[in-house]
Amino acid sequence: MTYPTRPTRPTRRTRPASPIVQSFAVRIAIGADHAGFSLKEHLKQTLARLGHSIEDLGTTSEASVDYPPICFAVAREVAEGRADRGIVLGGSGQGEQIAANKIAGIRAALCNDLYTARLSREHNDANVLSMGGRVVAFALADAILELWLTTKFEGGRHQRRLDQISAQEKRCNT
């Protein structure tokens, strides 16, 4: 007995994997408020295992603390070239991203999933990663971090857009 065959659907085109750009150690400035403290401590271990150097800019416990000064400090380390990348952590990561983005030259991205982590690097050349300690579990945070650190900026049309952002930033800071 023969069975009718199902019509085949066209195969979905998949995007090629992002090229890996950073297989070497980078200098990472990291900071968190009380809600991101435990994730910060975990990510410091992950970064050390991956061979990166870490500058911990606080906080040192789960005692309540305001996040803006910590995020400004992390962002300044990156903007002034003392760190290659920065990581800011809080409860949701939203306020931390906003605070870090107040420093000229910073492109902080809130990445609580792999898709936004990849695009933040490919399209926006994000130099500060923000995550929410109350949103992202340790295993996912590790995957986000590793993807974010190894994804290359695509340049091209994306560079043109970053140039427009930089020009506006300069106008606002003069």
28, 86 contact by CB (below 8 A): yes
CA atoms within 13 A on the CB side of 75: 23
Active-site amino acid positions: 96, 123
Nearest to 40 by CA among 136, 147, 148: 136
Q: Characterise 45 by phi-psi region: left (phi > 0), alpha (psi -120 to 50), beta (else).
A: alpha
Nearest to 96 by CA among 137, 68, 58, 54: 68
Bridge partners (DSSP) of residue 90 are 132
Query: Could you give the CA distance from residue 94 to residue 113 in angstroms, rounded to a whole number?
Result: 14
91, 73 contact by CB (below 8 A): no
